[in-house]
Amino acid sequence: MQANVTGTIYIVDDDEDFRDSMQWLLESASHEVITFPSAQAFLDNFNGEIGCMLLDVRMPEINGLALQQIMQDRDIQMPIIVLSGHGDIPMAVSAMKHGALDFLEKPFDDEVLLRLVDKALKRADEMRHEQGELNEIQICHESLSRREKEVMNLVVTGKANREIAEELGISPKTVEVHRARVMSKMRASSLPVLVQQAARLTETA
């Protein structure tokens, strides 16, 4: 069986037999797999490569929900498939509310898991692409002068050149020059594109 998408799958589960069986299943589907016996082991050894995670909710010391929160605090973003026993369903639902992609109740069908993993890896690939785009926007924004940033902040609110000129105490012609430079440096093809870029910068501020 060939995997539809590529990427690293992190398995975090304190059950060694389960980790081994999941690793065998996923590697047989041509996936790269790294396993961890605890949440702390993952945190200590994570190399920063975006992938997806199979996460057991019930583990000693740091449980799945706690690891999910720590990952959010450290800005470790990746799709998470939560694995739960029958009595852990409320915890799994809570994990979903906090951003997990899906959850599976043990025992589960291998084909169901493989489909979910493909879905998670596709989402991880989208996240890598989105992060790359954001990095480019941030680099472009950092190239703006202080005045150009001021003009950009006002342009994206929909203010006309004359209104911006009055607010900043400069001439409309100067605003026009700054505005053109902002569009060029931000590589924005239109005002709506610039507005979207500003929104993404605000979201990550």
pLDDT in tens, 96-132: 888 888 888 888 889 999 999 999 999 998 888 888 8
Is residue 3 over pLDDT 70? no
pLDDT score recorded for residue 122: 92
Nearest-angstrom CA–CA distance, 90 and 93: 5
DSSP 26-57: HHHTT-EEEEESSHHHHHHH--S---EEEEES
pTM of the model: 0.71
> For 27, phi and psi rounded to 5 degrees?
-70, -30
Residue type, 143: S
Q: Residue 135 has which token pair?
A: 């990095």
**Residues forming CATH 3.40.50.2300 domain(s) in the chain:** 8-126
**27-60 per-residue burial string, b: 16 or more CB within 10 A, e: under 16:** eebebebbbbebbeebbeebeeebbbbbbbbbbe
Give yes or no for residue 1 having a pLDDT over 70. no
Q: Hey, which CATH number is domain 143-203, 1.10.10.10, 3.40.50.2000, 3.20.20.80, 3.30.2000.10?
A: 1.10.10.10
Location of each CATH 1.10.10.10 domain in the chain: 143-203
Instruction: Tell me the pLDDT of the chain averaged across its residues.
Output: 89
Q: pLDDT value at position 12?
A: 95
Task: Provide the CATH number for the domain formed by 8-126 in this structure.
Answer: 3.40.50.2300
Backbone angles phi, psi at 169, to 5 degrees: 70, 35
Confidence of residue 4 (pLDDT cuts 50, 70, 90): low
Query: 107 preceded by cis ω (within 30°)?
Result: yes
Q: What is the per-residue pLDDT across 43-72, written as a single tens digit (0 to 9) for each?
A: 999 988 888 999 998 888 888 889 999 998
Contacts of 135 (CB under 8 A, 6+ apart): none
- Each residue's pLDDT tens digit, 69-101: 999 898 888 999 998 877 677 877 888 888 888
